[in-house]
Structure 1
Amino acid sequence: MTAIPMETADPYGLMHPERRKDPYTSYARMHRDGPVHYCEPWGAWLVVRYSDVTAGFRDLRLLSARTGQFGAGLSDEVRKMMEPLARNLASWTLFLDAPSHTRLRGLITKAFTPRMVETLRPRIRALIEELLDAARGKERMEIISELANPLPVIVIGEMLGLPRDDRHRLKRWSDQLAGLIGTGRPTPEQVKAGLGAILEFEAYFRTLIARRRTEPANDLLSALVHAEEQGSLLSEQELLSTCTMLLFGGHETTTNLIGNGLLALLRHPEQWELLRASPELLPDAVEEFLRYDPPVQFTNREASVDMEIGGKAIRKGERVMLMMAAANRDPAQFKDPDTLNVRREELRHMTLGLGPHYCLGAALGRMEAQETFAALMRRFPNLKLEPGASLDWLDSAGFRGLLSLPVVLGAEAR
C-alpha cells in the first residue's frame, strides 16, 4: 500500500511539533474549510463547529466507552502489553456510558458539588499564600513548578488523604499518563510510559486502600473504600481506577488552566490591569481563560451507529473527536473569538463538556484558579513575563499546558 503523503493525510498540520505552540491557527483554517474533517494520522473525524460539538456531547449515539481506541494501529504485542492500562482506564467515568457511568459518578459527585468545594476555600487560600511566601524576597518565580503544579496536587491529595510528600512522584506518573491519553494515536513509547504510570498508581493506591480498611480516616479515599465494602458498589478495579482518575483529573487540567490563563494575561497587560482594578470580574475571567486557551483541547467518542455530522457520513465504530478548543474559537458563536476579553458576555464555552460527562471537578478547578489569580494580582501587581523567556509546551495534542512559565515578580505590595 502506498503511504499517504503527510501534507495530504494531515493538511492542517495537527501532527507538526509547531502546533504545540499555536493550534489555533489550524483551527481557524478548519473553520473556514468546513465543520468536520477526517484526520488520517489520528484515524478520526474532527468536529470543530460549536453547534456540532454541543450536539455531540448530548448525542447518545456517540459512545464514551472507547478505551479500545488507545491500541488502534499498534502491534498485537504492544496491545497485549497495554492490557493492564486498558483495564484501569476502562473503569474511569470519563470512559463509561450509563448505567455504569451513572453508578460510579454518583459515588463521587457529592465530594465535588459547589457547596462542598466552597468549604475548601479557606484551605486553598492558605496554600496559595504559603506557596507565594516561598518566593518572598526573590526577583523571579517559575510559576508552573512553584505554584501551578503543587497547588492542585496538594489540594486533591488532601481530599483523598494522601501524604503531601508524595506529590512529586504522583505528578511524574500523571505526566506520563497525560502523554498517552492526550494523543490522537499513541506511539509504543507513550504506551510503555503510560503503562508504567498505571502500574505505579495501582501499587501506590493498593497500599493506602489496605491501610484505610483497618484505619479509616475522614477523607475521600476512606469514603470510597467504605462504599466498596457496603455491597459491591465498587469493585477492586473500579476503586483503583477511580482513585487514579481523581488524582490525575484533580490536578492536571487545573495546573494548565492556571499556567495558560496567566500567560494570556501577561501577553495582554491591559486585561491584567482591568482585572486588578475590577477583581469582581475574576469568575468570568476564568471562564474566558477556559475558552481562550483551554487545558483540554478535545475529547473522543465512538459512533455506535451509522450517522451524519456536519454533512459527513460517519460509520459505526469510527472515531469522532469533539474539538472543544476549536469550538471555543468558532466565529459563528463568539465575537472576535481570537481576542482575550475578560468582560466577554458570551461565556458558554465547551471546555468542561456538557451533559452527563460535564467535568466532575469543574467547581474545584474554577475556585483554585480564581484564588490563584486574585493572590497574584494582590501581592505582585507588577508581575511580568520574564524577558526573552522560552516557552515550551507539553508534548500532547489533547492536553495543552506549559512546561515552565518564568516571571519577574516586581515589588511585592504591602
Structure 2
Amino acid sequence: MTTACLFNPYDPAFLQDPYATYRALLSQSPRLKLPENFLQESVPNTDDWCLSGYADVSLALRDRRFVREWDNAKPAGLGTTANPRPEPPPFIKEFLSGMNSTMLFRDPPAHTRLRTLINKAFTPVAIESLRPRITDLVDYLLQPFMSGSQMDLIGDFALPLPVMVIGEMLGVAVTDRDVFKSWSIRIARALDATLASPQVLQEAAEAYRDLSLYLKDVIAERRQNPREDILTNLIRAEEDGQRLSEQELLSSCVLLLIAGHETTTNLIGNGFWTLHHHASARDLWANHPELGPAAVEEILRFEPPVQRTMRYVSEPVQLDDVGLQRGDSVYLLLAAANRDPSVFPNPDSFDITRKPNRHLSFAAGIHFCLGAPLARLEGDIALTRLAQSSLVVDTEVPAWRNMTVFRGLEQLPVHAE
C-alpha cells in the first residue's frame, strides 16, 4: 500500500493532526482520486474519491445521486451480491445486516419510512424535557472532580454522561450502565471501517448480539408497562398504519446508543481540549453562559466528533473537470469542509461568537443527524459547566483514539485548582 497519497488515514501523523492534511487537500486537491484499493473498504473495480471542499461535500450530502446503499449504485457486471467483498462469518454477517438495516445506511423509500417513524419519538419537546435531568447528571458526575485529585475527563465524565442519558431514554438499569457502555464502545469501533480488523468486527458482533438480547427484554417489559420515555414513544410510533418491526426497533435503539454516545463523548472531550488551548474563549464563555449554543457550534466546526462519511455514486456526476461514475465511492471529509476558507473566514481560528456557522458536522440533507438536538443540549450543559469550573488539563500530549471516522480522546487527565 502506498503512503504517498495526500489523504492517508493510516499515517500516525494524521491521527494526531488531521487538519494539516485537510489544509493541503483544500489548497492542492479538493477532489482527490485515491490509489486503487487504497482503503480497506474499497470496492473492487470502482474508483474511490475524497471530496474536501465545502460546496462539493454539501452537494454530495444533499444530492440524491449520492446514495448509502451499494445495491442502488452497483454497476452492471459486478455480480448479484449486495456487497462485492468476501462473505463474512455468519455471526459477523448478522451484525453487519443489523447495522445496515438502520436508517443511517438506507436510501428512500426505506429511509423515509424509518426516519418518519423515529422522528415521532425524537421530538424537540421530548429532547428539551431532558434538560433538568441532564443538568443533574452533569453536576453529579463533576462533583468528584472538585476534590483536587487528578481524574480522567473522558472516562469519568464525557463517556458516562451520554451513556447515562441514552440509557435512561432506553430503560437501562443503573446497575447495567458499565456493560451497556462496553457494548457501545465495541460496536462503535466497527463503524470506523478504515481500521475495522476481523478481531474488531468479531468483538462488535458479539457486543451487538448481547445488546440485542438485553434490549429485547427491555422492549418486552416496556410493552407491558409503558412509560413517558423515548423507548415507549418508539414502540407506539405509527405512520399510515405502519410501525417499527421488532428488528427495526432493536436496530434503531442500537443506532441511538452508538450515535448518541460516540458523538457526545467526543464533543465534550474535544471541546474541553480546545478550550484548554483557547483561554480567552473559555473565559468569555464562563462569564457569558448564554454563548453556550454558539460556542458548541464552533467546537463542532473546529474539532468535530465525526470527521468524515461516505456515499456511493448512483449515476454519473460532473464536478467541473472531475467526472464521477456509477459505483464510485466518495469519502466526504466533513472536518475539511468545515475549514474551507471560501465559507469560513479565518477557518483555523477558534471563535465562539462566529456567525454564521454553517458547519457540516451533523451532515445535511435527508441524513442530517437525528440526534443533533440531544448532542447540542448535552454539549451546552456540560461544556458550560466545564468552562466555569476550576478544572485544568494536566497534559500537552493528548491520547487520541485510533479511529479516523470518529475523532476523540482516549483519556484527558485533569484536576481542580
Global fold match (TM > 0.5): yes
Between the aligned partners of 2:348 and 2:71, the Cα distance in structure 1 is: 33
Aligned to 2:222: 212
5+ unaligned residues in a row in structure 2: which ranges?
A: 43-47, 75-81
Alignment map for 1:300-339 (pairs within 5 Å) = 300-309=310-319, 311-339=321-349
**1:235 corresponds to which of 245, 249, 266:** 245
Aligned to 1:396: 403
Q: 1:230 to 1:329 in 2, by over 3 A?
A: closer
Aligned to 2:191: 181
AA aligned opposite 2:2: M
Between the aligned partners of 1:193 and 1:318, the Cα distance in structure 2 is: 30
Aligned to 1:105: 115
Q: Find out whether 1:199 has 2:209 as its counterpart.
A: yes
Q: Find out whether 1:54 has 2:38 as its counterpart.
A: no
Aligned to 2:79: none
Q: 1:299 to 1:110 in 2, by over 3 A?
A: same
* Shift of residue 194, structure 1, vs aligned partner: 2.2
Alignment deviations for residues 81-100 of structure 1 (CA, whole Å, 9 cap, x no partner): 53202211122111111221
Alignment deviations for residues 15-34 of structure 1 (CA, whole Å, 9 cap, x no partner): 11221111111111111112
Between the aligned partners of 2:98 and 2:137, the Cα distance in structure 1 is: 31
Between the aligned partners of 1:370 and 1:67, the Cα distance in structure 2 is: 40
Q: Find out whether 1:7 has 2:3 as its counterpart.
A: yes
Q: Secondary structure at the match of 1:134?
A: helix
AA aligned opposite 1:6: T
Between the aligned partners of 2:258 and 2:71, the Cα distance in structure 1 is: 17
* Shift of residue 72, structure 1, vs aligned partner: 6.9
Q: Find out whether 1:248 has 2:244 as its counterpart.
A: no
Between the aligned partners of 1:131 and 1:281, the Cα distance in structure 2 is: 23
**2:414 corresponds to which of 403, 407, 413:** 407
Between the aligned partners of 1:218 and 1:295, the Cα distance in structure 2 is: 30
Q: 1:18 to 1:33 in 2, by over 3 A?
A: same
**2:135 corresponds to which of 125, 141, 144:** 125
Q: Find out whether 1:346 has 2:353 as its counterpart.
A: no
Q: Secondary structure at the match of 1:313?
A: strand
* Shift of residue 153, structure 1, vs aligned partner: 0.9
Aligned to 1:19: 14
Aligned to 2:102: 92
Aligned to 2:300: 290
Q: 1:110 to 1:233 in 2, by over 3 A?
A: closer
Q: Secondary structure at the match of 1:287?
A: helix
AA aligned opposite 2:132: P
RMSD between superposed Cα atoms in Å = 2.4
Alignment deviations for residues 354-406 of structure 1 (CA, whole Å, 9 cap, x no partner): 1211111111111111111222233x2x43211x4542112111000001111
Q: Is 2:391–2:415's contact at 8 Å kept on the other side of the alignment?
A: yes
Q: Secondary structure at the match of 1:97?
A: coil
Q: Is 2:30–2:53's contact at 8 Å kept on the other side of the alignment?
A: yes
Alignment deviations for residues 231-262 of structure 1 (CA, whole Å, 9 cap, x no partner): 65222221111111111111210010000011
Q: Is 1:111–1:117's contact at 8 Å kept on the other side of the alignment?
A: no
Q: Is 1:67–1:86's contact at 8 Å kept on the other side of the alignment?
A: no
Q: 1:250 to 1:112 in 2, by over 3 A?
A: same
- Between 1:196-205 and 1:360-369, the stretch displaced more is 196-205
AA aligned opposite 2:8: G
Q: 1:39 to 1:169 in 2, by over 3 A?
A: farther
Q: Find out whether 1:38 has 2:33 as its counterpart.
A: yes
**1:29 corresponds to which of 24, 29, 39:** 24
Between the aligned partners of 2:169 and 2:55, the Cα distance in structure 1 is: 36
Q: Secondary structure at the match of 2:9?
A: coil
Q: 1:111 to 1:302 in 2, by over 3 A?
A: same
Q: Is 1:20–1:396's contact at 8 Å kept on the other side of the alignment?
A: yes
* Shift of residue 135, structure 1, vs aligned partner: 2.4
5+ unaligned residues in a row in structure 1: which ranges?
A: none
Q: Is 1:297–1:351's contact at 8 Å kept on the other side of the alignment?
A: yes
Q: Is 2:291–2:353's contact at 8 Å kept on the other side of the alignment?
A: yes
Q: 1:266 to 1:82 in 2, by over 3 A?
A: same
Q: Secondary structure at the match of 1:45?
A: strand
Between the aligned partners of 1:67 and 1:88, the Cα distance in structure 2 is: 16
Alignment map for 1:154-169 (pairs within 5 Å) = 154-169=164-179
Q: Secondary structure at the match of 2:23?
A: helix
Q: Secondary structure at the match of 2:57?
A: helix
Q: Is 2:50–2:333's contact at 8 Å kept on the other side of the alignment?
A: yes
Q: Secondary structure at the match of 1:347?
A: coil
Q: 1:75 to 1:99 in 2, by over 3 A?
A: closer
Q: Is 2:117–2:238's contact at 8 Å kept on the other side of the alignment?
A: no
Q: Find out whether 1:143 has 2:146 as its counterpart.
A: no
Alignment deviations for residues 68-111 of structure 1 (CA, whole Å, 9 cap, x no partner): 99x978533x3655320221112211111122112111222133
Q: Secondary structure at the match of 1:211?
A: helix
Q: Is 1:66–1:95's contact at 8 Å kept on the other side of the alignment?
A: no
* Shift of residue 117, structure 1, vs aligned partner: 1.6
Between the aligned partners of 2:178 and 2:319, the Cα distance in structure 1 is: 43
Matched length = 400
- Between 1:17-26 and 1:227-236, the stretch displaced more is 227-236
Aligned to 2:393: 385
Q: Secondary structure at the match of 2:409?
A: coil
Taking structure 2 as the reference length, the TM-score comes to 0.89
**2:381 corresponds to which of 340, 350, 371:** 371
